Amino acid sequence: MSSRPELQAPPEIFYDDVEARKYTSSSRIAEIQTKLSERALELLALPDDGVPRLLLDIGCGSGLSGETITENGHQWIGLDISESMLNVALQNEVEGDLLLGDMGQGLGLRPGVIDGAISISAVQWLCNADKSSHEPRLRLKAFFGSLYRCLARGARAVLQVYPENIAQRELILSYAMRSGFAGGVVVDYPHSTKKRKEYLVLTCGPPSVSSAVPSGKGEDGESCSDDESSGDEENQTVCISDRHRPRKKQKVNKKGKGREWVLRKKDQMRRKGNVVPPDTKYTARKRKARF
């Protein structure tokens, strides 16, 4: 069975009483989620003026991410679809106010009241259709539309996500942009399979200086510079896009160019005197998509 919880059961069923306890009592999970939350808060870039802000924690679970918000001196409202996770949060007497709800149906908060939002390891759940009535695109639209509305203008939302593949990441980002957000994806440790983490850094309102996307962290913990020019997915520490920037249409031939085409090209190159690797049974083989 897949190790991705999203593929095993709907969140409110996967995170039942047993799983909620197991999740919260694991020191390994607590350590990881705390680090992710600290980084999300860093990317949120709230003013360093000592004034407590009202933040939203989307998919707050048992309150691991919320506790980091409390430790940083801010107040928070947590929303989660799993009653069991929220029960653990209540038992742990977290500081935040808790809401039981489905982000895919919108957040139901008053316009402009939230100073910033974080979400740790939760938004990718919206890409799955758990019920016949679920349409991921509509759920993403409802979520990002309501998130945009409840944030104060100029406020940020930092969503750490585990998309299953590039298409899923693009889908999530495209719905964020359509809702009016500016921003993009920050990728920390892009070259490490284990440590690689992705954060959507979104700003409410039109693109401005504050909506510039920060750099991701490199292997050594230092900031990596943006390397969009390489065109190599793994080398792109930050990919920036916003709804005001027209996207280049990618020419994609579904069938690919095929073995014959590759062999013909290799022959042409040989005739031009280039050093070309010999043809083998692996030439022009279909490769697995890499994330």
Question: Which residues contact ligand SAM by CB under 6 A?
Answer: 11, 15, 33, 59-61, 64-65, 79-82, 85, 102-104, 120-122, 125
Alpha-helical runs (H) found in the chain:
11-14, 17-25, 27-44, 64-71, 83-91, 136-150, 166-178, 258-271
Smallest separation, CB 136 to ligand SAM (Å): 11
Give the Cα separation of 227 and 213 in Å (integer): 13
DSSP 3-state of 120: strand
Integer Rg of the chain from CA: 22
Smallest separation, CB 158 to ligand SAM (Å): 12
**Closer CB to ligand SAM, 60 or 239, in the complex:** 60
**Closer CB to ligand SAM, 106 or 184, in the complex:** 106
Structure tokens, 248: 């280049």
Do 203 and 211 form a contact (C-beta atoms < 8 A)? yes
- Tokens 């808790």 correspond to 98
**Closer CB to ligand SAM, 104 or 183, in the complex:** 104
**Closer CB to ligand SAM, 176 or 240, in the complex:** 176
**The dihedral of CA 54, 59, 62, 66: what is its sign?**
negative
**Closer CB to ligand SAM, 56 or 224, in the complex:** 56
Smallest Cα–Cα separation from 113: which of 46, 53, 162?
53
Smallest separation, CB 40 to ligand SAM (Å): 9
**Closer CB to ligand SAM, 78 or 182, in the complex:** 78
Structure tokens, 109: 């908060």
Smallest separation, CB 104 to ligand SAM (Å): 5
- Tokens 């957040």 correspond to 107
Smallest separation, CB 154 to ligand SAM (Å): 24
Give the Cα separation of 276 and 133 in Å (integer): 54
**Closer CB to ligand SAM, 125 or 175, in the complex:** 125
**Residue 151, strand partner residues:** 114
| Nearest residue to ligand SAM, by Cβ distance, number only | 61
Do 216 and 186 form a contact (C-beta atoms < 8 A)? yes
Give the Cα separation of 258 and 256 in Å (integer): 6
Smallest separation, CB 260 to ligand SAM (Å): 47
Smallest separation, CB 11 to ligand SAM (Å): 3
